[in-house]
Amino acid sequence: MDRFSLKITRRRLLAAGLPGVLVLALSGAPVRAGTPAGSGPVRYLDPARAVADRVEDLLARMGLDDKIGQMTQAERGHITPAEITRFRVGSVLSGGGSVPTPNTPRGWADMYDGFQGAALAAPLRVPILYGVDAVHGHNNVVGATVFPHNIGLGATRDPELVRRIGAVTAEEMAGTGVDWNFAPCVCVARDDRWGRTYESFGEVPALPSSMTTIIDGLQGGTLGGPTSVLATAKHFVGDGGTKDGDDQGDAVLSEEELRAVHLPPFREAVRRGVGSVMVSYSSWNGVKMHRNRRLITGVLKGELGFSGFVVSDYNGIDQIDGEPGFTREEVATAVNAGIDMVMVPAEWRRFIILLREAVEEGAVPMARIDDATRRILTKKVELGLFERPMADRSRLGGVGSAGHRALARRAAAASQVVLKNENVLPLKHGGRIFVAGRAADDIGTQAGGWTVTWQGAPGPTTPGTTILEGIREAAGGSAEVTYDRDGTGADKSYDVAVAVVGEQPYAEYQGDRVDGLRLDETDLGTIGRLRAAGVPVVVVLVSGRPLDVTSELPGWDGFVASWLPGTEGAGVADVLFGDTAPSGRLPVTWPRDAGQEPINEGDGQRPLYPFGAGLTYG
C-alpha cells in the first residue's frame, strides 16, 4: 500500500468517525521508525559534542512520525508505556491531581521511570519530558513542601527568597523524576474577580518581572544541573487582563497596554533563559492566543528572541474555532502560529494523524515541523535527559524535609500583610487566646488550589502545620489557647480572639467571582460571635485575593491578609506573635468593593488599601 492510498484510506476511516487509534491500526500506518541509533557514529548520544551538533544529528535520523511524536504531549491517564514506545510520544503530563497510586514520592518515581523506560525502548531512544504544575512546591505529591501561592510571594517583595523556593521545588521534583514544571505563571492580575489572581505575583508588571528569579531556581544557572527542571513562563499573553476577570476570556486592550502591562514579565523570563512558554487560553481583542502567529512567532520568538519551545494549554487548540474538539485546520493553525508542542491529553492519537495529514497536504511546512522538533530536542539535550533520563532516587528523602519546610515557613511569614492594628498585635506569649474560623485548623484551606488535587480541598490533604497549631506553638506552654470553629464559647475572659477565615480552595475559572467579593455568611457569623463576646478581635484572612471587608472592618481590632500560606502555618503565627516582624506589602490594590474592579495602582480610584500598603509593629 503506497503512501497515497494509505492517506485516502486513513481519511476515509477518519471521515467514518472511527477513533484515531483504530484508524492507525486499520490503515496499517507504518509509524516510520527513525534511523536506529545503532547505525553510524551516534553523535547525538555523545555528551562531549555541542548541543546543536547533537540535535542536528538526531533530527537527521528522524522520520516525520518521530518528529510529530516529539510535538505531542499526552496525559498520563490516557497513554500506556507501550504506546509511548510505538508512537514515539515526546512528552507526558500530569494534569492537576492526576497522580500515581500510591501518591508518594517513590510512587511518582516508579511511574516516571516506567514511562521513561518506554520512551528509551524506541529506536532513537529519545527521552520524554514529564510535565506537572508544581506551582507552589511539588504540590501534587502528598508529603511535599507546599509554599505560599504567588500572590503571597509577591507580598514578600523578595526575589532571592523566591529563587530559593524555585530551587527547593526543583530538588523535590528531581527525586520523583519529574523534569518539567508548568511554572511560573508570570501573569499580571488586573481584576481580582479572576479565579487565577492568586497565581499572579502582582498587579504591576515590575512585580512578576522581579519574581522571574524563580526560573533561575528551577532551572539552575544553566539547564543540566543535577536538579535542573525545565521552567515554563505562562500564560502568553494577557491572561490577567481579560474583561471582568473572566478566566479564558477576552483581553480588550490596545497593543500599547498589552506591551506595557502584560509583556514585560515574559521579556524578563526570556532574558533569564526560560526553557518553555505556555500559550494562554484567553483572547486578545477577540483573537484566540492559540492562533495568534504575530504574537507567538513574531513577538515572542522574533522580537523577544525566545529560543525555547512553546506549548499549548490543556486542550487549548480545541478552542480555536469555538467548537468542541479539534480539527485538522485547528491543528495546522496552532502549529503554524508557532506552537511547538501540543497538549492533547486524551486525543493525542488523532492529533498525530491530523498533523501528519496537514503536513502531507502542505498545510504545515516541513520547515515548521523541523523548527518545532529542533526546539524541543534542544531543551532535552540541554537538560541532560539523554545522560540522566531516570529519577534521581537519592533525592527522595528530601521531599518535604525539615529544611525545605523551614524555608516555606519563612516565606509564609514574609508574605503576611498587616493592614490594621489597634494595639492588639503582636499577640502576647502566655496569654489567653480564643481562636475561631474554618480556616484556622485546615491544611487544605490554607494551601488553596493546586494542592494534591486540581481544585484543592479542605481537610488534612497533606502533612503540614495548621495556623492554629502554629498559634499554639508560638503562644507557649503557659498560654491558654481555646479553639472553636464557629466562635462559640468566646467571652471577655480572653485577652484576644483570632478569627481565621476566608475562601474555600479553587482553581482557574472555578474561582471566578461574578457575585461580588464579600465574605460568606459562615465567616461573618464566626466573626460576629467573637465581637459579641466583647473581646478584641483579630481577623486573619486566608484568601487568593483581596475581599470586600469594608463594612466589617470598623469592628475589627486587627486585620492580616494571610493569602494562601501553604503547609507551614506556623509562619503566620510567627508574625501574629511578633517572633517575625511583619514585612509584607500588598501586591495588589485592595478595593472598597467589587464595583471598583478592575482597580489598580495609579488608576485614580480610592481603594480601601493602596498597592504596597502594609504595617510593621511599632
For residues 497 and 447, is the Cβ–Cβ distance under 8 A?
Answer: no
State the CB neighbour count (10 A cutoff) for residue 256.
8
| Closest to ligand GLC by CB, 54 or 196 | 196
CB of residue 160 to ligand GLC, shortest distance in Å? 25
Length of the chain, please? 618
Residue number with CB closer to ligand GLC (247 or 441): 247
What span, in angstroms and rounded, lies between the C-alpha atoms of 586 and 187? 16
Question: CB-based contacts of 106: which residues, under 8 Å, 6+ apart?
Answer: 393, 396
Q: Which spans in 62-139 are helix H?
A: 64-70, 81-87, 105-120
Which residues, 6+ apart, have CB-to-CB distance to 302 below 8 Å? none
The answer to whether 194 and 235 have CB atoms below 8 angstroms apart is no
Q: How many other β-carbons are positioned within 10 Å of the β-carbon of residue 402? A: 7
CB of 317 to ligand GLC, least distance (A): 13
Beta carbons of 84 and 362 less than 8 angstroms apart:
no
Cα 579 to chain centroid distance, Å, stands at: 31
Residue 35 neighbours by CB distance under 10 Å: 16
Could you tell me the smallest distance in angstroms from the CB atom of residue 377 to ligand GLC?
Answer: 22
Cβ proximity of 245 and 596 under 8 Å: no
HSE-CB at 150 with a 13 A cutoff on CA atoms is: 29
Min separation Cβ 139 and ligand GLC, Å = 12
Closest to ligand GLC by CB, 282 vs 416, is: 282
Cell reading at 218: 528551577
Compute the least distance from the CB of residue 232 to ligand GLC, in Å. 7
Cβ nearer to ligand GLC, comparing 192 with 508: 508
85 exposed, middle or buried (CB, 10 Å; 0-12, 13-18, 19+)? middle
- Kindly report the CA angle at 373 between 368 and 378, in degrees rounded to 5? 130
Task: Tell me the closest approach of the beta carbon of residue 196 to ligand GLC, in angstroms.
Answer: 8
Beta bridge partners of 540: 500, 560
Per the residue annotation, which of 313, 340, 523, 557 is the catalytic one?
313
CA 460 to chain CA mean position, Å: 22
Give the C-alpha separation, 522 to 545, whole Å: 18
Could you confirm whether 46 is annotated as catalytic? no
- Cβ 181 to ligand GLC shortest distance, Å: 9
163 is written with which cell numbers?
529563587
**Minimum separation from the CB atom of position 539 to ligand GLC (A):** 31
Cβ-Cβ contacts under 8 Å for 300 (sequence gap 6 or more): 236, 237, 266, 270, 277, 306, 310, 338
| Torsion angle defined by CA atoms of residues 94, 95, 101 and 107, in that order, rounded to the nearest 10 degrees | 30
What sign does the CA torsion over 162, 168, 170, 176 have?
negative
Q: Which is nearer to ligand GLC, 122 or 233 (CB)?
A: 233
Tell me whether residue 512 or residue 523 sits nearer to ligand GLC (CB atom).
512
- How far apart CA 381 and CA 388 sit, in angstroms, is 10
The nearest distance, CB 279 to ligand GLC, in angstroms, is 10
Between CA 572 and CA 578 the distance in angstroms is 10
Residue 615, strand partner residues: 418
Separation CA 91–CA 68 (nearest Å): 11
- Return residues touching ligand GLC (CB under 6 A): 95-96, 133, 182, 234, 313-314, 508
Q: What are phi and psi of 330, to 5 degrees?
A: -65, -40
What residues have CB less than 8 Å from 473, skipping those under 6 apart? Answer: 465, 570, 573
Closest distance to ligand GLC from the beta carbon of 224 (Å): 23
Which residues are catalytic, by number? 313
